[in-house]
Amino acid sequence: MPPASRRWADTQVTLMNGSTSVTWPPVNWKELSKDQRLLELEYVAMTLTRATSGHQPFVERAELLEEFNFLALPGTVPLSPKKI
C-alpha cells in the first residue's frame, strides 16, 4: 500500500525510540534525488528499528520500508516490495 500524502515542506517532526531521536524530514530533502530520498528513509527506518532491538536486526528491506512508509517523501523512488 502506498503511503498517504503529507506536506513535508511545511513541517518537521522528531521521532523517538528509547534514547534515539531522529528529525524528519532531512533539512535538505528537496535537493535529494529520488534514490537519495529512499536511502534517507531506509537509514532512519533502520536506525529506529535498531534502537528497539539494541542490535542489527534481521529484517527484510521490503518489510522495513512497509513499516515506515508513512515517512516517504514526495518524489521518493516507489516503495513497491516487488521491486526491492
Instruction: Give the pLDDT score at 45.
Output: 92
The pLDDT of residue 80 is 62
pLDDT number for residue 50:
85
Query: Alpha-carbon distance 51 to 58, whole Å?
Result: 13
Render 26-84 in DSSP notation, one character per residue: -TTGGGS-HHHHHHHHHHHHHHHHHHHHSS-----HHHHHHHTGGGPPTTPPP--GGG-
What's the pLDDT score for residue 54? 67
What is the CA 83 to chain-centroid distance, rounded?
17
Give the pLDDT score at 1.
Answer: 46
- CA dihedral defined by 21, 22, 24, 29, rounded to 10 degrees? 170
Distance from the Cα of residue 30 to its chain's centroid: 15
- pLDDT tens-digit profile, the chain (84 residues): 455 567 777 788 899 888 889 999 999 999 999 999 999 999 999 998 888 766 667 888 888 888 898 898 888 887 665 554
Query: What does the pLDDT read at residue 78?
Result: 78
